[in-house]
Amino acid sequence: QTDQDRPACLDQTTPEKRTVYPVNMLRKTAGSVGLRVTQQREGIQRLSPGPHGDKHASTTTSSPTVMGPSSKLKTMDQLGGPSLLTTLNWLFVKGYFKTTQQLQIEHSRIYGPLWKSKYGPLVVVNVASAEFIEQVLRQEGRLPVRTDMPHWRSYRELRNQAHGPLTEMGVNWQRIRSILNPRMLKPKHVSSYTNTINDVVSDFIHRVSLLRETNGGGVMVHDLTAELYKFAFEGICSVLFETRMGCMNQVVPEETQKFIFSVGEMFQLSPIIVLFPKSVWPYLPFWKQFVAAWDHLFKVAEGLIQQKMESIQQKVHLDQSVEGAYLTHLLLSDQMTVTEILGSITELLLAGVDTTSNTVSWCLYELAKQPEVQEQLYQEVMSVCPGDELPNSEDIARMPYLKAIVRETLRLYPVVPGNARVSVDNEIVVGDHLFPKDTLFHLCHYAVSYDEHIYPDAHSFLPQRWLRGAPEKSRQHPFGSLPFGFGIRACLGRRVAELEMYLLLSRLMKHYEVRPDPAGTAVKPITRTLLCPAKPIDLQFVDRPAKQRRAV
């Protein structure tokens, strides 16, 4: 193959043509505030274990093998399931490519709770019962691996970028999580974001008003999910950077809009790319799009980090105290290089957009269909937080029905409909099968969420099933619905996401009664890595009586 034959995107792998991360500028700024930026001799930036990283290096990753009387166990070869051709037929002829969540249900009906399938070059063991999901997760080892995410990791190799918590593995993942966790998951830190998030909620409520007036005949908000993407991006940026992105303005800045678009595009292209062997990716037309989407995500994150570094630098020069939000803490704590911080912040940003927004969209969609549930929620919110008061995290703690509603929304519409684990440490036993080390398990959470044995009347939106003392609560399997995942690899943003969703929903309830689209449009979910609405959700937002509206 001559150089001329090489697709342009392959050239991006050559050091001369790679996008050079502006290390000098960062080094200059970083140096002045005591930060470290690493660069390898050949010009490639690499993760450098910070001062606290090496201590984990000798940590053993092994966990005890769970072995039964192995002679009676069946092997992975003996496990049934569709061939690659059959799977492709389901995906592209029967048309399940966009509704792979539904395919989980169809296939578990045919093959039972455990089956093997091929997804392009990948061999996957699908797990669709709460008991078996529990068995996989209980054997995930000390350094769990979700999947090795070859396509996401390839981008980082291509551009010499660092991995963040989503894509990193092994001891370095553990080190990153130990640095990122406290201010994302500890209640005292999370509740300190309340005012920041409440400001974004206020702006969102004004935006709803504006949209109704300008484009909705005084009552309708069209494509609510698109609006909630903006809310979620603004929310996560305000938590991470204490910076407002202008997403709630009448005209949303182009960069921001493009960030939101790039997140969606990257998620949409991901399942298509992994259908092909890695060797052909650079020749795929959509590989370029995938790379461009990631480029934009990293570019926006990098701009925001630089801004923050400059503002810290200014404060240091003026001898002012430097305090601030999540990123300020990361930059000042000197536990990660700036390259690593960029890798992590980019992943936090992208994880923070489609997740909360899709969940809130489904929640409002269901509340609109169920006025009595909505009324009960409204009464709860008003009794805890009457009149003009803005809810805070203590108020939220006294809103069990609100939490049950979000829980039920995430059961019916788990934003991560299928999660994964690789048995990295040992061979493991699931059911009556013994699986070798490095088996990739696909955890079919969507299918299990609709298991009638665990959730009677599973297709109905019944938040009361999550309330303490509910008769069915004691029968629920703890691994029946795991919307934020499990164990030490579980969602890093869970607490922030919950706070965002609770504050937004409680305040929307105070202000508006949500009613369905009078056209009666039913919206079903599709999967583009994450579960999202197949078409726009349009809802009516009707003002609550004026005396309760002054709060905004």
Stretch that binds ligand HEM, among 302-310, 328-336, 352-360, 457-465 (CB under 6 A): 352-360
- Spatial CA neighbour of 473 closest among 407, 540, 423, 396: 407
From 162, 200, 236, 364, residue interacting with ligand HEM (rule: CB under 6 A)? 236
From 356, 361, 374, 393, residue interacting with ligand HEM (rule: CB under 6 A)? 356
Site for ligand HEM in 257-286 (CB under 6 A): none
From 316, 490, 523, 551, residue interacting with ligand HEM (rule: CB under 6 A)? 490
**Min separation Cβ 403 and ligand HEM, Å:** 13
3-state secondary structure of 114: strand
**Distance, CA of 494 to CA of 470 (rounded, Å):** 25
Gap between the terminal Cα atoms of the chain: 64
How many chain residues bind ligand HEM (CB under 6 A)? 27
How does 514-529 read in b/e, with b if 16+ C-beta sit within 10 Å?
bbbbeeeeebebbbbb
Nearer to ligand HEM, 49 or 352 (CB): 352
Nearer to ligand HEM, 179 or 377 (CB): 179
**Distance, CA of 4 to CA of 196 (rounded, Å):** 52
Stretch that binds ligand HEM, among 50-58, 310-318, 350-358, 429-437 (CB under 6 A): 350-358
From 126, 355, 361, 527, residue interacting with ligand HEM (rule: CB under 6 A)? 355
Element spanning 137, H or E: helix 130-138
**Min separation Cβ 539 and ligand HEM, Å:** 19
**Distance, CA of 329 to CA of 517 (rounded, Å):** 44
Element spanning 115, H or E: strand 114-119
Nearer to ligand HEM, 127 or 220 (CB): 127
Stretch that binds ligand HEM, among 124-132, 364-372, 412-420, 503-511 (CB under 6 A): 412-420
**Min separation Cβ 359 and ligand HEM, Å:** 4
From 419, 423, 449, 529, residue interacting with ligand HEM (rule: CB under 6 A)? 419
Nearer to ligand HEM, 90 or 441 (CB): 441
Site for ligand HEM in 519-548 (CB under 6 A): none
3-state secondary structure of 94: coil
3-state secondary structure of 171: helix
From 489, 495, 507, 528, residue interacting with ligand HEM (rule: CB under 6 A)? 489
**Min separation Cβ 421 and ligand HEM, Å:** 7
Sheet holding 74-75, edge to edge: 74-75, 433-435, 428-430
**Distance, CA of 539 to CA of 522 (rounded, Å):** 11
Nearer to ligand HEM, 483 or 516 (CB): 483
Half-sphere exposure of 275 (CA within 13 A, CB side): 15
**Min separation Cβ 95 and ligand HEM, Å:** 26
Nearer to ligand HEM, 166 or 272 (CB): 166
352 binds ligand HEM (CB under 6 A): yes
Is the sign of the CA dihedral 142, 144, 150, 153 positive or negative?
Answer: negative
Stretch that binds ligand HEM, among 18-26, 118-126, 387-395, 487-495 (CB under 6 A): 487-495
Site for ligand HEM in 176-195 (CB under 6 A): 177
Within 8 A by CB and 6+ apart from 262, the residues are 292, 293, 294, 296, 297
- Spatial CA neighbour of 402 closest among 424, 385, 417: 385
Residue 93 is which amino acid?
V
**Distance, CA of 251 to CA of 242 (rounded, Å):** 21
Within 8 A by CB and 6+ apart from 172, the residues are 47, 49, 53, 163
From 166, 226, 272, 382, residue interacting with ligand HEM (rule: CB under 6 A)? 166
Residues in the chain, overall count: 552
Stretch that binds ligand HEM, among 4-12, 54-62, 194-202, 492-500 (CB under 6 A): 492-500
**Min separation Cβ 496 and ligand HEM, Å:** 5
Does the annotation list 9 as a binding residue?
A: no
Please answer whether residues 361 and 224 qualify as being in contact, where contact means their C-beta atoms are separated by less than 8 angstroms: yes
**Distance, CA of 197 to CA of 326 (rounded, Å):** 14
Site pattern 437..476 for ligand HEM (x: CB under 6 A): ----------------------------------------
485 binds ligand HEM (CB under 6 A): yes
Q: Is 420 left (phi over 0), alpha (psi -120 to 50) or beta?
A: beta
Stretch that binds ligand HEM, among 110-118, 200-208, 396-404, 489-497 (CB under 6 A): 489-497
Stretch that binds ligand HEM, among 29-37, 60-68, 220-228, 410-418 (CB under 6 A): 410-418
3-state secondary structure of 75: strand
**Min separation Cβ 89 and ligand HEM, Å:** 29
**Min separation Cβ 85 and ligand HEM, Å:** 30
Structure tokens at 411: 């059961």
Q: What are phi and psi of 124, to 5 degrees?
A: -125, 135
Please answer whether residues 411 and 481 qualify as being in contact, where contact means their C-beta atoms are separated by less than 8 angstroms: yes
Site pattern 113..152 for ligand HEM (x: CB under 6 A): ---------------------------------x------
Interface ranges with ligand HEM (CB under 6 A): 146, 165-166, 177, 236, 347-348, 351-352, 355-356, 359, 410, 415-416, 419, 483-486, 489-493, 496-497
Q: Which residues are annotated as a binding site?
A: 491
Q: Which residues are annotated as a binding site for heme?
A: 491
